[in-house]
């Protein structure tokens, strides 16, 4: 595989761009795999990559019903942060951020990770106190976090509405190492990295059944034939409940909801950070892409669905938040908006765990936050699959945490998916 580097870019520039290899193959399935991963989103691809790279398991297939990266992987607003407080989540997301910091080198693929800071606006003394607790915990446990007063915030982010009497801005909680990345590039980088190590990525093959014999999974039935596997791992995000039922189970503590995102026409540089606004049900986050478009989003669509398309009331809701927080973009034209399907868990935290079937593994429950989680998700999920036991960091991210009463409810929002981000 041709490496991506300055010399090869230069050489190919002079020789008609003919020296590049295909980024990944389009193979026929083998007779049997050690591991079959269902879903070629970020989590499935990262898992395949680390299975091969860290655990030497190369007889691996990733089975995808559409094209790789065509689900939530390519639809998110690309925010990467690790501002979590609760044990389990805190270490997990910090590990993820540390993997992000070297991901471009690791994959030899420019994922355009930009540590431009993540700024959560604070609108009340209570919010400031809660943020102080969270960000102090982060600092005390090896992450980074700052509290900015109003003067500092105005200097760094001048274009916000500081005269908003309904939502007065009092300051901000900031994680400087956070930021965003190019979502497609992450999927392509992991896919290329996995393929280079011998992983088969099987696109346009929908898994239609999970076959079981004598209490074990034997493989997956797909729209283009049966594929035999010693272990099967599910990483299908918003479709988790469907696959769960194919495996013969009833329900997961997950609801599938839609989340929309928006991008405006390109503007000159206006916003150099990721800014988040949230008060009660009003929720809004915005950043500016390298092409200049303002990329933003808000809440989920308030009803459950597997359809990857949004609705107009949410366009209005998000636009209201936008002009309320950044009136200067009130006349900017919207270029596109789209939707993905979110696997919203009942406490807002994920599942990376074994299942009641010995050789079936589950990766799900990512809510709004699975983009930033994808490196650590692949890291720990591959470790779980290879060694058949959870790393202590993910030991709490099990399905039975609700039965045992050990939920990881980061926002204290209770079992209400629409309140979890």
Ligand X SMILES: Cc1cc2nc3c(=O)[nH]c(=O)nc-3n(C[C@H](O)[C@H](O)[C@H](O)COP(=O)(O)OP(=O)(O)OC[C@H]3O[C@@H](n4cnc5c(N)ncnc54)[C@H](O)[C@@H]3O)c2cc1C
The bridge status of strand 216-222 relative to strand 171-175 is unpaired
Considering the complex, what minimum distance in angstroms separates the CB of residue 341 from ligand X? 7
Verify binding: residue 421, ligand X, rule CB under 6 A: no
Look up tokens 């690791």; give the residue. 106
Verify binding: residue 120, ligand X, rule CB under 6 A: no
Binding ligand X by CB under 6 A: which of 37, 50, 77, 247? 77
Considering the complex, what minimum distance in angstroms separates the CB of residue 46 from ligand X? 8
Verify binding: residue 118, ligand X, rule CB under 6 A: no
Binding ligand X by CB under 6 A: which of 370, 378, 396, 421? 370
What is the distance between the alpha carbons of residues 39 and 206, in angstroms, rounded to a whole number?
9
What is the DSSP annotation of 399-417?
TTHHHHT----TT---S-G
Number of H helices, E strands in the chain: 11, 18
Considering the complex, what minimum distance in angstroms separates the CB of residue 206 from ligand X? 4
Binding ligand X by CB under 6 A: which of 90, 123, 192, 372? 372
The SS3 of residue 14 is helix
Among the listed ranges 16-24, 113-121, 135-143, 361-369, the one in contact with ligand X (CB under 6 A) is: 361-369
Verify binding: residue 63, ligand X, rule CB under 6 A: yes
Q: Return the residues of window 39-58 that contact ligand X according to CB under 6 A.
A: 39-44
Pick 282 or 373: Cβ nearer ligand X: 373
Among the listed ranges 32-40, 48-56, 318-326, 409-417, the one in contact with ligand X (CB under 6 A) is: 32-40
Binding ligand X by CB under 6 A: which of 184, 206, 221, 391? 206
Verify binding: residue 369, ligand X, rule CB under 6 A: yes
Beta bridge partners of 288: 294
What is the distance between the alpha carbons of residues 381 and 37, in angstroms, rounded to a whole number?
11
Pick 152 or 184: Cβ nearer ligand X: 184
Size of the site for ligand X (CB under 6 A): 40
Verify binding: residue 371, ligand X, rule CB under 6 A: yes
Look up tokens 């020789």; give the residue. 15
Pick 169 or 254: Cβ nearer ligand X: 254
Verify binding: residue 365, ligand X, rule CB under 6 A: no
∠ CA 121-124-126, nearest 5°, is: 110
The encoded tokens of residue 340 equal 């993905």
Considering the complex, what minimum distance in angstroms separates the CB of residue 18 from ligand X? 31
Binding ligand X by CB under 6 A: which of 57, 111, 185, 237? 237
Verify binding: residue 146, ligand X, rule CB under 6 A: no
Verify binding: residue 209, ligand X, rule CB under 6 A: no
Q: Give the contact letters, 287-326, x = binds to ligand X (CB under 6 A), - = no.
A: ----------x-----------------------------
Verify binding: residue 378, ligand X, rule CB under 6 A: no
Among the listed ranges 18-26, 34-42, 191-199, 323-331, the one in contact with ligand X (CB under 6 A) is: 34-42
Binding ligand X by CB under 6 A: which of 33, 60, 65, 326? 65
Pick 113 or 368: Cβ nearer ligand X: 368
Binding ligand X by CB under 6 A: which of 35, 72, 91, 396? 72
Pick 278 or 370: Cβ nearer ligand X: 370
Interface residue list for ligand X (CB under 6 A) = 38-44, 63-66, 70-73, 75-79, 206-207, 235-239, 243, 259-261, 297, 340, 342, 366, 368-372
């Amino acid at each position: 595989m041709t490496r991506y580097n300055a010399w090869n870019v230069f050489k190919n520039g002079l020789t008609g761009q003919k020296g590049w290899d295909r980024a990944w193959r389009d193979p026929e399935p083998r007779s049997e795999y050690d591991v079959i991963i269902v879903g070629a989103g970020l989590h499935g691809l990262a898992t395949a990559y680390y299975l091969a790279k860290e655990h030497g398991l190369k007889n691996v297939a990733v089975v995808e019903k559409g094209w790789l990266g065509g689900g939530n992987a390519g639809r998110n607003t690309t925010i990467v942060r690790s501002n979590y407080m609760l044990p389990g989540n805190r270490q997990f997301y910090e590990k993820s951020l540390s993997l992000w910091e070297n991901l471009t080198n690791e994959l030899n693929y420019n994922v355009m990770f930009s540590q431009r800071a993540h700024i959560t606006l604070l609108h009340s003394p209570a919010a400031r106190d809660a943020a102080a607790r969270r960000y102090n915990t982060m600092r005390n446990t090896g992450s980074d976090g700052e509290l900015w007063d109003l003067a500092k915030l105005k200097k760094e982010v001048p274009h916000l509405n500081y005269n908003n009497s309904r939502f007065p801005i009092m300051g901000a909680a900031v994680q400087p190492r956070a930021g965003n990345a190019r979502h497609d590039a992450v999927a392509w980088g992991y896919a290329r990295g996995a393929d280079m190590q011998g992983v088969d990525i099987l696109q346009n093959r929908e898994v239609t059944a999970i076959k079981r014999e004598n209490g074990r999974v034997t493989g997956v039935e797909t729209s283009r034939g049966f594929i035999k596997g010693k272990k099967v791992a599910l990483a299908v995000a918003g479709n988790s409940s469907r696959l769960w039922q194919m495996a013969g189970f009833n329900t997961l503590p997950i609801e599938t909801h839609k989340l929309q995102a928006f991008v405006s026409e390109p503007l000159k540089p206006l916003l150099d950070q990721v800014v988040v606004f949230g008060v009660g049900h009003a929720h809004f986050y915005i950043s500016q892409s390298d092409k200049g478009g303002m990329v933003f989003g808000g809440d989920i669509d308030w009803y459950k669905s597997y359809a990857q398309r949004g609705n107009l009331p949410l366009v209005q809701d998000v636009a209201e938040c936008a002009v309320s927080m950044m009136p200067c973009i009130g006349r900017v034209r919207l270029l596109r908006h789209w939707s993905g399907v979110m696997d919203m868990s009942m406490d807002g935290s994920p599942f990376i765990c074994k299942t009641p079937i010995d050789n079936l593994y589950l990766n799900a429950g990512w809510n709004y936050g699975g983009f930033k989680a994808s490196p650590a998700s692949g890291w720990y999920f591959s470790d779980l699959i290879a060694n058949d036991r959870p790393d202590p960091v993910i030991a709490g991210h099990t399905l039975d945490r609700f039965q045992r009463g050990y939920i990881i409810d980061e926002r204290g929002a209770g079992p209400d998916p629409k309140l979890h981000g």
